[in-house]
Chain A
């Protein structure tokens, strides 16, 4: 199946969910309603850090129209001394994130929730809840959180024997770092900072929950995993998983931010208490204050190279903000930064630092863009110090098959070198920047990046309809076109037109357990279970034809969507089409269908190299991206348009991170720019066309050669843009974003 002569794999087919989405009919979570539905709203902490002395909900409960109120007392508590893990999430932190317990830990932390017959009454009820706070000193920034006299968020955390805001440490070591630096002719060490940024999905978190009188619970919600929703809601409410049916609505963007829940357990308890279906929708302000974002960071990276351009030693230390509860993506920052290179001596360390911000959630290759930003900027400086082309330096040291990475693996066949070679050969790299208009300067930057990619649990069911068409059900919310890719693969395997295949996302009651849509795992994992299910269906179809022809199943081939005798020796029979076999299913053994459930393995890492041209307006400080090209090893582009879409979307998010996006806090620890006007994500007129070059080095461990493609695209852009700005100005930024005021400050300084 790895050959490139496929009929359907590689085709730009029309996505199965497309017509509903362009006509406004696709049902997202906030579009769902039920008879008798009431509205839930959340009371949030006005303080960044405060002990909750008391919560009095009596007046709110007495307001006409209020049907239920919940506080932390209504949710299951996970004691601090015992970790209960669900995937990578510790329920001790999750239970304190969805509703404050001992303390309010950030401005916007949920304190209570109400359900009422209208949104207006619910909002009024929130004002009637009386909360007595003892306000504590707060801390937001990493440097402040690490000071000896810093306010300590959690008295159960200690580091090196002392109370601390450091919640965890991770270290990767390879070789002998001292010997490595001793061998180096050029050593460059630099420190960097990045600001927290939000995933920026356009659809706010939303859910509708109905708890029936017998306790049977139905949840419609926008998430990156209906099984995650079921499990977390079960753990936080005490309702057994078998009584919860979590139905995945269409999801309006997630980028990692919807791999955890916020509203579902609150709505569930409100529905249980009120006996009514409860709908909850976050406002954009709530999304910005209390969901996501990813970490702000500070990093120090030191790289040593020999005169002939061999990277011989690398050391990185990455401090990441976790938000109010432990769990920042230090694994991504410390693990991915040096992963594109063959460096014999590496120490890479990550520190997880809590502070009074909302708890971070995954954001597209969590942590990796932060690590790559620092590493790729230093590599740029090493190249300059050596007088080498920055791509040639990367190519000379590129990881390849057999490279031992500091984070553990020895790479199998990977396509990283190919991305650099393609960049070197591309017209973009060969075209001069051209003369900048007066008052502007131009520059070009390059950067590379790596992301782990994931496998894990997936389930699929492939059923043949009575009229000989196909329904495929998988268990992963489709966040970027995965249904289209599954249709292509199934069509290829069955040898039929892709239009005869419907691809559906099952709910927790209709398909087997499937892990999150995350880790760039969906197509990798679901293609595996769909392939195996389809192969079982094909085996069954051959057996049925054999039965009809009264020959051995081994003598029946499945070709071009029909059963045929393998040769004239097997007998001369006219072929039996899928429709004909479906019509005779009852007499040949009953319904035709098969399902497979697997813990998939063999997801191999993904690599990319990006080229970026910028033009800096030296009077206004505005950096504009003129041209951008991404080169990525995509394994096999099952649906090229949606692979390109991932590459383009990641580049755009990275450009936003590099140039404009940042959380800004006031002195009270409140987010000052909790909306799309002041949290400025790239709009259409900010960007150029985003070129893509897909390099297909098939993953040898996957039936179609699939590698995850969704997250790598956000890893290189921060440094690609930063290196381009340096090239333009001759001054290097060690802090993101490179927003107009900072650019002007740099130019004037």
Chain B
């Protein structure tokens, strides 16, 4: 089967690739483009480890055909840090130990950034639902939620109001 030529933008840079019509965006990112930060945990859109943004919108790259990237802007975990500086979310995840094995971390960070881009002042519940498509089996999500809330507050220049365990 003839391959299809796709012209797109990945993390702000112009990119061209050839793909088969049935190939997923995740396969092209991890294969020909060498961007293995997006992970495949399920291949069915249930775990969120492959989360990327398509024109700023959060999508599972395993559910997106690579040809659909034509003319659009793709954002992956590899584009989150700028130069030698980490994004505040990345820095906060390190400081607050919001990762253990790290396999879900790229997807969680991409989803968290997409959430904060839309809603810079989320409640705990909004963070939990914003990340509900990203499975993490190590952390129980506690430190992840705290790190996102703390980052949001820092980026707003405010002090984080940490959720009380006590209702």
A residues near B (Cβ < 8 Å) are 12, 14-15, 17-19, 21-28, 30-31, 199-204, 250-255, 281, 283-284, 427-428, 431, 434, 479-481, 626-627, 629, 639, 641-642, 644-645, 648-653, 675-677, 681-685, 687-691
Contacts and interface: CB of A to CB of B under 8 A. Distances in A.
A690 B104 CA distance: 19
Nearest to A653: B137
Most buried by B among A200, A427, A649: A649
Contacts of B38: 24
Contacts of A251: 101
B41 A480 contact: no
Contacts of B90: 22-23
Contact of A649 (B76, B124, B139): B139
A17 B42 contact: no
A250 B30 CA distance: 17
B140 A479 contact: no
Given A252-B101, A481-B100, A431 B166 contact: yes
Contacts of B135: 200, 202, 676, 681, 683
Interface in B98-112: 99-106, 109
A684 B131 contact: yes
A26 B35 CA distance: 11
A421 B120 CA distance: 41
B37 A24 contact: yes
B67 interface: no
B138 interface: yes
Given A18-B99, A24-B76, A691-B165, A685 B129 contact: yes
B18 interface: no
B143 A24 contact: no
Given A17-B102, A30-B40, A284-B42, A481 B86 contact: no
List 7 tightest A-B contacts by C-beta distance, closest first. Answer: A24-B37, A252-B103, A652-B140, A641-B97, A21-B102, A676-B46, A24-B77
Contacts of B95: 12, 14
B4 interface: no
A18 B89 CA distance: 13
B26 to A, nearest CB: 11
B100 A649 contact: yes
Contact of A675 (B30, B46, B105, B127): B46
A251 B102 CA distance: 8
A479 B101 contact: yes
B140 A690 contact: yes
Contacts of A22: 86, 90, 93-94, 99, 102, 105-106, 109
Contacts of B81: 23
Interface in B8-28: none
A368 to B, nearest CB: 19
A680 B124 CA distance: 22
A652 B104 CA distance: 16
B43 interface: yes
B134 interface: yes
Contacts of A21: 99, 102, 105
Given A677-B44, A690-B142, A202 B100 contact: no
B97 A202 contact: no
Contacts of B128: 684-685, 687
Contact of B139 (A201, A281, A434, A648): A648
Given A202-B103, A685-B129, A15 B94 contact: yes
Contacts of B103: 28, 201-203, 250, 252-253
B140 A202 contact: no
Nearest to B164: A689
A689 B162 CA distance: 10
Contacts of A650: 140
A149 to B, nearest CB: 40
Most buried by B among A251, A480, A685: A685
Contact of B44 (A31, A204, A675): A675
A675 B42 contact: yes
B167 interface: yes
A255 B78 CA distance: 28
Most buried by B among A641, A648, A681, A689: A689
Nearest to B148: A684
Contacts of A12: 95, 97
7 contacts: A17-B102, A22-B90, A30-B36, A30-B40, A202-B135, A252-B101, A480-B100
Interface in B117-148: 124-125, 127-129, 131-146
Most buried by A among B94, B100, B129: B100
Task: Identify whether the interface residues of B are mostly helix, strand, loop, or mixed.
Answer: loop
Contact of A689 (B77, B99, B163): B163
B36 A24 contact: yes
A94 B134 CA distance: 33
Most buried by B among A253, A281, A650: A253
B42 to A, nearest CB: 4
B167 A202 contact: no
A629 B165 CA distance: 9
Contact of B47 (A202, A481, A627, A689): A202
Contacts of A690: 140, 142
Contacts of B100: 253, 479-481, 642, 645, 649
Contacts of B77: 23-24
A31 B136 CA distance: 19
A648 B140 contact: yes
A201 B42 CA distance: 11
A481 B165 contact: no
Nearest to A255: B137
B143 A202 contact: no
Contacts of B144: 684
Nearest to B77: A24
A204 B165 CA distance: 33
Contacts of B97: 12, 15, 481, 639, 641-642, 644-645
Interface string B38-55: 111111101101000000
A480 B43 contact: no
A626 B165 CA distance: 9
Nearest to A643: B97
Given A15-B97, A202-B39, A627-B165, 9 more contacts: A14-B95, A18-B93, A25-B37, A202-B104, A202-B136, A428-B166, A645-B139, A683-B133, A690-B140
A684 B42 contact: no
Nearest to B144: A684
B40 to A, nearest CB: 7
A201 B134 CA distance: 13
B140 A687 contact: yes
A653 B136 CA distance: 10
Nearest to A680: B46
Nearest to B127: A684
A627 B167 contact: yes
A649 B41 contact: no
Given A284-B43, A649-B140, A434 B78 contact: no
B36 A434 contact: no
B147 to A, nearest CB: 10
B102 A434 contact: no
B96 interface: yes
A516 to B, nearest CB: 16
B80 interface: yes
A687 B139 CA distance: 11
B44 A641 contact: no
Contacts of A255: 137
Contacts of A199: 137
A283 B117 CA distance: 33
A203 B39 contact: yes
A232 to B, nearest CB: 22
A648 B163 CA distance: 16
B8 to A, nearest CB: 18
Given A21-B99, A24-B77, A677-B46, A627 B140 contact: no
Given A28-B103, A250-B102, A687 B141 contact: yes
Nearest to A683: B132
Contacts of A281: 40
Nearest to A199: B137
